[in-house]
Amino acid sequence: MSEHPIISARALAKTYTAAGREIPVLQGVDFDILAGTSVSIRGESGSGKTTLLYLLSALETPTGGELFWEGEPVNGKSQDWKAARRARWMGMVFQAFYLMPELSALENVLMARRIVGQVRAQDSQRAKELLERVGLKDRMKHVSAQLSGGECQRVAVARALMNRPKILLADEPTGNLDETTGEGVMTLLLELTRQEAAALILVTHNAAHAARTDQTLFLRKGGFGK
* Site of interaction with ligand ATP (CB under 6 A): 16, 18, 23, 25, 43, 45-51
**In this structure, are residues 218 and 43 in contact, taking their beta carbons and an 8 Å threshold?**
yes
Q: Which stretch binds Mg ion (CB under 5 A): 31-39, 49-57, 81-89, 158-166?
A: 49-57
Q: Which residues pair with 171 in a beta bridge?
A: 94, 203
- Picking from 218, 216, 219, 200, the residue whose alpha carbon sits closest to that of residue 26 is 219
Contacts of 72 (CB under 8 A, 6+ apart): none
Of the pair 63, 124, the CB lying nearest ligand ATP is at 63
Q: Is 95 in the site for Mg ion (CB under 5 A)?
A: no
Q: Is 176 in the site for Mg ion (CB under 5 A)?
A: no
Q: Residue type at 137?
A: K
48 binds, among ligand ATP, Mg ion, none (CB under 5 to 8 A by kind): ligand ATP
**In this structure, are residues 176 and 95 in contact, taking their beta carbons and an 8 Å threshold?**
yes
Of the pair 52, 134, the CB lying nearest ligand ATP is at 52
Of the pair 49, 166, the CB lying nearest Mg ion is at 49
Q: Angle at CA 44, nearest 5°, toward 41 and 45?
A: 105
Of the pair 17, 180, the CB lying nearest ligand ATP is at 17
CA dist 43 and 200 (Å) reads 17
SS3 116: coil
Q: Residue type at 107?
A: E
Of the pair 49, 154, the CB lying nearest ligand ATP is at 49
Q: What is the dihedral of CA 163, 165, 170, 173, to 10 degrees?
A: 40
Give Cα 132 distance to the centre of its chain: 21
- Minimum CB distance to ligand ATP, residue 54 (Å): 8
- Minimum CB distance to ligand ATP, residue 217 (Å): 12
Q: Is 50 in the site for Mg ion (CB under 5 A)?
A: yes
18 binds, among Mg ion, ligand ATP, none (CB under 5 to 8 A by kind): ligand ATP
224 binds, among ligand ATP, Mg ion, none (CB under 5 to 8 A by kind): none
- Minimum CB distance to Mg ion, residue 70 (Å): 26
| Binding residues vs Mg ion (CB under 5 A) | 49-50
